[in-house]
Structure 1
Amino acid sequence: MITSAKRKVLDGLNRRYIYGRVPLLHTIIFLIEMAVATRIATKFNSYYAEKPVLTTMVTNAVLGGVADTVAQLITAFRSRNAQRSHENDFISIEIPDFDKGRPPVIGEIGAGTYSPAPFDFERVTRFMAYGFFMAPVQFQWFGFLSRAFPLTKVNPSVPVFKRVAFDQLIFAPFGLACFFTFMTIAEGGGKRALTQKFRDVYLPTLKANFVLWPAVQILNFRVIPIQFQIPFVSSIGIAWTAYLSLTNSAEES
Structure 2
Amino acid sequence: MSLSKDKGEQNPLEKALAAYIEALQTKPVLTKAVTSGCISAIGSLVSQLIVPNPANGGKIVWRSVAAYAAFGFVVSGPLIHKFYILLDKMMPPKKEKTALDGIKRVVVDRLVFAPPFLLLFLYVITILEGQGHQAAIARIRESFFPVLKLNLQVWTVFQYVNVNYVPPKYRVLFGNALALIWSVFVASKRRKMALANK
Q: Does 1:126 align with 2:67?
A: yes
Equivalents in 1 of 2:37, 2:163: separation in Å? 22
Q: Which residue matches 1:31?
A: none
Q: Give CA deviations for 1:195-251 in whole Å, capped at 9, x if unaligned.
A: 21112111110011011111001111222111001100010011334549x99xxxx
Count of aligned pairs: 175
- TM superposition shift of 1:48: 0.9
Q: Does 1:136 align with 2:136?
A: no
1:147 to 57, 77, 89: 89
Contact 1:67 1:241 in 2 (8 A): yes
How far did 1:156 drift? 3.8
Matched residues in 2 for 1:41 and 1:241: separation?
24
1:129 is aligned with what amino acid? A
Structure 1 or 2, whichever has the larger Rg, is 1
TM-score, with structure 1 as normaliser: 0.62
Cα distance in structure 1, aligned partners of 2:153 and 2:112:
16
Matches within 5 A, 1:175-190: 175-190=117-132
Q: Look up the equivalent residue of 1:209 and give its one-letter code.
A: N
Aligned-partner Cα distance in 2 for 1:62–1:200: 27
Superposed, 1:1-253 pairs within 5 Å as 41=17, 43-76=19-52, 116-134=57-75, 135-242=77-184, 243=186
Unaligned runs of 5+ in 2: 1-12, 191-198
Judge conservation of contact 1:157–1:222 (CA < 8 Å) in 2.
no
CA 1:43–1:187 in 2, change beyond 3 Å: closer, same or farther? same
Contact 2:40–2:68, Cα closer than 8 Å, also in 1: yes
Check the 8 A contact 2:41/2:69 in 1, yes or no: yes
What's the offset of the Cα at 1:168?
Answer: 0.6
1:150 match: secondary structure? coil
Worse-superposed segment, 139-148 or 190-199: 190-199
Q: CA RMSD in A?
A: 2.7
Greater helix content: 2
Name stretches of at least 5 consecutive residues in structure 1 with no aligned partner: 1-36, 80-113, 248-253
